Amino acid sequence: MVKIGNISLGNFPLLLAPMEDVSDPPFRALCKKYGADMMYTEFISSEGLIRDAVKSVQKLDIFEYERPIGIQIFGSEISSMRKATEVCQSANPDIIDINYGCPVKKVACKGAGAGILQDIPKMVEMTKEIVNSTNLPVTVKTRLGWDENSKYIVEAAERLQDVGIQAISIHGRTRAQMYKGEADWSLIADVKNNPRMNIPVFGNGDIDSPEKALRYKNKYGVDGIMIGRASIGNPWFFNQVKHFLKTGDHLPLPSIEERVKVVKEHLDFSIKWKGDRLGIVEMRRHYANYFKGIPNFKPIRTQLVTLETSEELYDVLNSITNKIELEPA
């Protein structure tokens, strides 16, 4: 049984990775429904939280059915991260997660996210301050290192455990790699196999099929897998992986009717949570993934990403029928 603090996650949990502009409440609701064992919010700016910025505060919205859920924060100033942790506690999450992995320039080059991998002592100090400022379990999401010459993850993970984190999720790339090339899970396995490590170690990166999930589980011995991009437009992926790990067989692909039904659920919640305009606009990034594999879908997608009202969108969604056959996976 894998546990983060007193939170039981089952024998081999599947975690939804925190993804900016993706893992919001509407998307999380579907991932939970289709098998995610643990989820995280989008990452939230510590500076935004302590300044009460509307966009940052809205990301604190969590719902009872999502539990267990972690709120993920990022920042470069230790005092701001400590204060942000106190703000997060008011939202009553199950876990506080620290983002030490975001590679994008506007975050990393300011010393936040993966940027802190250039200063491991500061990373450890910041983590210690956050652990000491909350009674909630603290977890970390990070990468192998800043670049090929600074893959200090085995040492860093041990030091983070020593100051009190209760789980670590590791993306198998450096910051310099961004999302290019193949994720290297061998160093993730080195962290897991370090005899001094006694907290859960979750692997992340490139898990895009049930077969790969099983192969990496067996090969690298991690405690669970964090799934990111493979779940976008495919919340069914969690149950597909679970079924394959248990039986060795594949679940049937979701039918057109099921896809349309789930897209409507997603759109409904998106509009409810963000308002008509933003709810409609921010759904546009999801349609291509939801209907991946459907031949001649481009004209329909063009409509979905250009229409301005929910009524028009529902009309188009209702016009998609199971007469459209899926291409083989």
Catalytic residue numbers, as ranges: 102
E strand or H helix that includes residue 240:
helix 237-247
CA distances in angstroms from 41 to 61, 136, 211, 213, 308, listed in the order given: 9, 16, 27, 23, 27
Of 99, 117, 112, 123, residue with least CA distance to 175: 117
Collapsed DSSP state (helix, strand, coil) of residue 279? helix
CA distances in angstroms from 39 to 178, 183, 195, 228, 290, listed in the order given: 22, 22, 28, 11, 20
Tell me how crowded residue 36 is: count the other CB atoms within 10 A of its CB: 24
Alpha-helical (H) ranges within 109-178 are: 120-132, 153-162
Alpha-carbon distance of 329 to 324, in angstroms, equals 15
Collapsed DSSP state (helix, strand, coil) of residue 140? strand
Alpha-carbon distance of 128 to 122, in angstroms, equals 10
Burial class of residue 38 (count of CB atoms within 10 Å of its CB; 0-12, 13-18, 19+): buried
Alpha-carbon distance of 46 to 42, in angstroms, equals 12
CA distances in angstroms from 200 to 9, 11, 166, listed in the order given: 11, 11, 7
